Amino acid sequence: MIVEVRLPEISENVSSGDVTKVLVKVGDTVAVDQPLIELETEKAVFEVPSTAAGVVTDIRLKPGDSVDVGGVIARIETEAKQGAAQETSAPQKQAPAPAPKAEPEQPKQAPAPAPQPRAEERRPVANPPQPTPARPVSQDAQPAQESTAENIRDTVVAVAQEQGSAVPASPTVRRMARELGVDINQVRGSGPGGRISSEDVSAFAKSIITGAGSQGGPVQTGPSSIGPAAGARALPDFSRYGEVERTPMSKIRAITAQSMSYAWNTVPHVTQHDEADITALEEARKKYAPRVEKGGGKLTMAAIVTKVCASALHRFPDFNASIDMQHGEIVHKKYCNIGIAVDTDRGLLVPVVKGVDGKNLTEIAADITLLAEKARTKKIMPDDLEGGCFTISNLGGIGGVGFTPIVYAPEVAILGVSRASMKPVYINNTFEPRLILPLSLSYDHRLIDGAAAARFLRWVCEALENPILLAIEG
Ligand code: CAO
């Protein structure tokens, strides 16, 4: 029997992705959960596994193709009836795959469920995710069906509506236009039948920024006409000074750039610095590390600081909040999800440890180890990156004495952790060698006052020095 493997629902607000790699070919025998393609969305790059076992008879995608939720990734002749199929249609099985289609097919049946973490990786997520900071503009601009799609039916409706509208462009290109604040109806398509590509949208946006109007369309002006790229300036001609090479930004880099620009331009940042004496804590860390390792994690400073911050967020609720300037309200979150900045070879990713307040150190360490591994091996899913309340960025494994992290808006604070080092500290009329951990708390001064930030960070330092504080006040 031939089974169609389709792109499952990925996450809220994500209805398509671009294929970066095809990991199988026609004739390959694949198992359930074996990765078929590598897909890049606005939120992550990850592998899409097969939902069927058997022989790949058709794979229509190639790197660079866009595929929608519900679109066919591959056709697989399942093992159960493979013999029967060979008897009746062996030549057909050998036939070459049909040529790739410009548009992904509309689903004829309900698509497979989203790729799920293995049972032992699954964690209950008690609270709904908050919007991710990477898409502050697009979320406002998206059609209701797309932004609230909770099941595949809604997603398919959204995709169908987009594809049925007058302007020929894929959902990915439309989304890109929305994110750039470009009215897609004004973009002239260079493809067959006037089809609009992402390059057409980029060129149009560029023409708006430079005022060149290179596409001949009306030049939009004013702050609402263009989104995050509005501050972009035309670059000088570097080739006048020497050889240069231009490479397209990956989606992760583009989203990081947008997200950082948004936070930098929106949030009045202040960074508070402090130091914790972790001499005793380091001894305890080494002592208990083997015990934590049995739980699947590595007891490192990142895990310990995450546990302490969960208590600090409980004690200082303004740090577990967002500002809604549109409605003049402060949104206090009654849940505690902490993002951990992870350095990957594709750039910065911030997976989120969910429900930190309900987890012990062993569970938090296991979560961080797993999420960092998933981020670095392209297994991270968009849901893993959503719903953060506060972020921790630990550069201590690399080095440095301090830095000023950028708040991951709409969160209101981020804690930077630098490298712990031995320092002479004056105690009881003598200098003693102590292990000192530098901490830098950047915060949104619209909501957090300097004194509150100093108190928050002092409490974190004291809790690291005297962990009993977690039990007494956390
Ligand atoms: N001070 C001293 N040593 C530290 C330390 C600190 N603050 N943090 C970690 N270390 C040590 C660890 O103990 C470990 O030593 P051993 O190998 O001897 O046990 C080593 O450094 C490596 O630790 P790690 O970085 O693998 O583990 P972690 O849990 O502390 O951090 C993670 C995990 C994912 C936060 C980290 O790997 C990472 O990616 N950090 C980069 C974050 C980043 O890029 N931030 C910038 C964001 S803004 O651009």
Q: Mean pLDDT highest for which of 50-64, 100-114, 359-373? A: 359-373
Output the pLDDT for position 207. Answer: 66
Domain for residue 286, yes or no?
yes
Distances 444 to 309, 332, 355, 448 between C-alpha atoms, Å:
17, 14, 23, 6
44 pLDDT exceeds 90?
no
58 lies in which domain range? 2-125
Number of domains in the chain: 2
Q: What is the pLDDT of residue 118?
A: 34
Question: From atom 46 of ligand 1, which residue's Cα is the shortest distance away?
Answer: 393
Q: Are 53 and 5 in contact (CB under 8 A)?
A: no
pLDDT of residue 13: 66
**What pLDDT is stored for residue 253 in this prediction?**
87
**pLDDT of the residue at 243:** 97
Inter-residue contact 314 to 474 (CB < 8 Å) = yes
The answer to whether the CB of 280 falls within 8 A of the CB of 304 is no
Q: What separation in Å is there between the alpha carbon of 72 and the centre of ligand 1?
A: 40
Domain boundary among 84, 105, 125: 125
What pLDDT was estimated at residue 130? 34
Residue nearest to atom 32 of ligand 1 (CA): 342
Answer whether 304's CB lies under 8 Å from 297's CB. Answer: no
* pLDDT at site 169: 73
**H or E stretch at 263:** helix 251-266
Q: How far is the CA of 246 from the centre of ligand 1 (A)?
A: 32
E strand or H helix that includes residue 416: strand 413-417
Ligand 1 mean position, distance from CA 151 (Å): 38
- Is position 158 within any domain? no
**Residue 455 covered by a domain:** yes
Q: How far is the CA of 348 from the centre of ligand 1 (A)?
A: 14
Give the residue whose CA is nearest to atom 15 of ligand 1: 397
Would residue 269 show up in a list of annotated catalytic residues for this protein?
no
Q: Which of 23, 45, 49 is nearest to 346 (CA)?
A: 45
**pLDDT digit string, tens, across residues 188-205:** 888 767 778 888 877 777
d(CA 97, CA 26): 7
| Residue 187 included in any domain | no
The reported pLDDT for the residue numbered 195 is 77
Q: Are 36 and 70 in contact (CB under 8 A)?
A: no
Confidence of residue 423 (pLDDT cuts 50, 70, 90): very high
Helix (H, G, I), strand (E, B) or coil at 1: coil
Q: Indicate whether 278 pLDDT > 70.
A: yes
In a domain? residue 162: no
Reported as type and span, the H/E element at residue 309 is: helix 301-315
Q: Which of 307, 373, 394, 418 to mutate to test the pocket of ligand 1 (most atoms within 8 A of CB)?
A: 394
Tell me if residue 359 falls in helix, strand or coil.
coil
What CA–CA distance (Å, rounded) separates 35 from 28? Answer: 12
Kindly report the pTM of this predicted structure.
0.65
Q: Which of 293, 298, 300 to mutate to test the pocket of ligand 1 (most atoms within 8 A of CB)?
A: 300
Q: What are phi and psi of 272, to 5 degrees?
A: -105, 130
Q: Which two tokens stand for residue 60?
A: 């229509």
pLDDT tens digits for range 248-267: 988 788 888 988 999 999 99
Share of the chain above pLDDT 70, in %: 73
Q: Find, among 306, 274, 267, the residue nearest to 411 by Cα.
A: 267
Distance in Å from the first CA to the final CA of the chain: 58
Among 367, 359, 370, CA closest to 311: 359
Q: Count of alpha carbons within 13 Å of 163, Cβ hemisphere only?
A: 16
Does 178 fall in a domain?
Answer: no
CB 265 within 8 A of CB 231: yes
Q: How far is the CA of 103 from the centre of ligand 1 (A)?
A: 44
Nearest-atom number in ligand 1 for the CA of 375 is 34
pLDDT tens-place string over residues 154-188: 232 223 223 333 567 776 777 777 767 676 777 88
Binned at pLDDT 50, 70 and 90, residue 69 comes out as confident
pLDDT of 467 above 90 = no
Contact 44, 381 (CB under 8 A): yes
| Burial class for 246, CB neighbours closer than 10 Å (0-12, 13-18, 19+) | exposed
Q: Higher confidence at residue 297 or residue 470?
A: 297
pLDDT for the residue 179: 66
Which of the pair, 226 or 461, is modelled with greater confidence?
A: 461
Torsion of CA 207, 213, 215, 217, to 10 degrees: 120
Mean pLDDT over 113-141 rounds to 32
pLDDT at residue number 43: 66
Contact 82, 55 (CB under 8 A): yes
pLDDT at 418: 98
Q: Could you tell me how many residues make up the chain?
A: 474
Domain boundary among 74, 108, 125: 125
Pocket test of ligand 1: the residue of 293, 298, 301, 441 to mutate, having most ligand atoms within 8 Å of its CB, is: 301
Strand partners, 273: 440
pLDDT at 136: 27
Report pLDDT for 145. 33
Ligand 1 centre to CA of 421 (Å) is 14
End-of-domain residue from the set 101, 125, 149: 125
Nearest-5° Cα angle at 302, 297 to 304 = 80
Residue 224 in any domain: the answer is: no
Rounded to the nearest integer, the mean pLDDT of the chain is: 78
Domain containing residue 10: CATH number: 2.40.50.100
The pLDDT tens digits for 381-399 are 989 999 999 999 999 999 9
CB 405, CB 393: distance < 8 Å: yes
Which residue lies with its CA nearest to atom 5 of ligand 1? 396
| Confidence check: pLDDT of 404 > 60 | yes
Kindly list the protein residues whose Cβ atom lies closer than 6 A to any atom of ligand 1. Answer: 300-303, 340-343, 348, 368, 372, 393-397, 405, 417, 419-420, 437
Beta bridge partners of 431: 426
- For residues 130 and 25, the answer to whether their CB atoms sit within 8 Å is no
Q: Is 302 a member of any domain? A: yes
Q: What is the CATH number of the domain that holds 450?
A: 3.30.559.10
Q: How far are the Cα atoms of 191, 206, 351 from residue 201, in angstroms, in the given order? A: 12, 8, 30
- Mean pLDDT, residues 300-324 taken together: 97
